Amino acid sequence: MLTVMILLDSVEKVQRFVSTISKYSCGFDVESGYSCVDGKSLVGLFSLDISKPLQLTINDGDGEIEDVLRDIQEFMEY
């Protein structure tokens, strides 16, 4: 399990993010405040306030974490 901050502040970014992570078998939870949604769900992500940074938790992806982090680099907040 790994947690990082991401910013998905446009419709295009949300679509690219879901497309990018959907190819992985691990689970992705995205949290904003008290809300937590499946990171692979467009509808779920659009229910969050995407104008602010979101917390992404990558679950059960021990073998894939490096690849996931490389692929989501453009969305990560430092």
* pTM (predicted TM-score): 0.93
Residue 17, pLDDT score: 98
Distance CA 73, CA 34 (A): 25
Domain ranges across the chain: 1-73
Domain 1-73 architecture: 2-Layer Sandwich (3.30)
Residue 74, pLDDT score: 96
pLDDT of 62 above 80: no
